[in-house]
């Protein structure tokens, strides 16, 4: 069970500035994933400041009932993005 105090919950929600799901590592690197239709975008931060990735190379590993595949991500500014061949199905119980 995950419990967040009201201040912690409010802080976590403010980090999702693009409407996605946000995680932060122990070394203060943040990743917000936004999935809209067939568009997959990652917004990256370091100590809550945008982190520059232009010219870098990244891949995403996507696992579905159909199997596992790797997708090349385009790095531009502080975002990593890909256009998928089809929208991903939502997980059971997700909104």
- Three-state SS letters, the chain: CCCCCHHHHHHHHHCCCCCCEEEECCCCEEEEEEEECCEEEEEEEECCEECCCCCCCEEEEEEECCEEEEEEEEEECCEEEEECCCCCCCCCCCC
CA atoms within 13 A on the CB side of 64: 12
Report the C-alpha gap between 51 and 31 in whole angstroms.
10
Burial of 67 (0-12, 13-18, 19+ CB in 10 A): exposed
pTM over 0.85: no
pLDDT tens, position by position, 72-90: 999 999 899 999 998 987 7
pLDDT tens, position by position, 2-55: 444 444 444 554 557 788 888 888 778 888 889 999 999 999 888 888 889 888
């Amino acid at each position: 069970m995950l419990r967040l105090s009201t201040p912690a919950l409010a802080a976590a929600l403010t980090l999702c500035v693009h409407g996605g799901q946000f995680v932060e590592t122990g070394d203060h690197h943040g990743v917000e994933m936004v999935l809209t239709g067939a568009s997959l975008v990652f917004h990256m931060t370091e100590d809550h400041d945008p982190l520059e990735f232009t010219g870098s190379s990244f891949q995403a590993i996507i696992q579905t009932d159909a199997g596992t595949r790797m997708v090349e991500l385009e790095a531009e500014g502080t975002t990593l993005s890909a256009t998928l061949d089809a929208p991903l199905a939502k997980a059971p119980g997700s909104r």
